[in-house]
Amino acid sequence: MAVSGRRRSDEDRVVRYLNTEGDFEVEVSHTLNKWCVTVFQLPSKQVVAQDFFPERWKALARAQDFVR
């Protein structure tokens, strides 16, 4: 079994936030060369909104805006 020498850094990990009511989940993930912010309506996981950002910090800030 071959093992890649590259470890996943914290910047490669998917980040998820729930709003206080628990009816929306916001996910930040890296897709191709952009950071994707996706808002899901729970419990059906239907996509409500999706936006792309060139930098991770901008995507995380926008995700936290959705949660508030």
Query: Mapping DSSP to helix (H, G, I), strand (E, B) and coil, where does residue 10 land?
Result: helix
Q: pTM, whole model, 2 decimals?
A: 0.79
Nearest to 40 by CA among 17, 12, 68, 10: 17
Return the pLDDT at 17.
94
Return the pLDDT at 5.
58
Residues 18-37: pLDDT tens digits?
998 989 999 999 988 999 99
Give Cβ neighbours of residue 20 (< 8 Å, ≥ 6 apart): 67
Nearest to 59 by CA among 22, 24, 16, 20: 16
The rounded distance, in Å, linking the Cα atoms of 9 and 48 is 28
Q: Which pLDDT tens digits describe the chain residue by residue (68 residues)?
A: 555 555 556 667 899 999 989 899 999 999 889 999 999 999 999 999 999 999 999 999 999 998 88
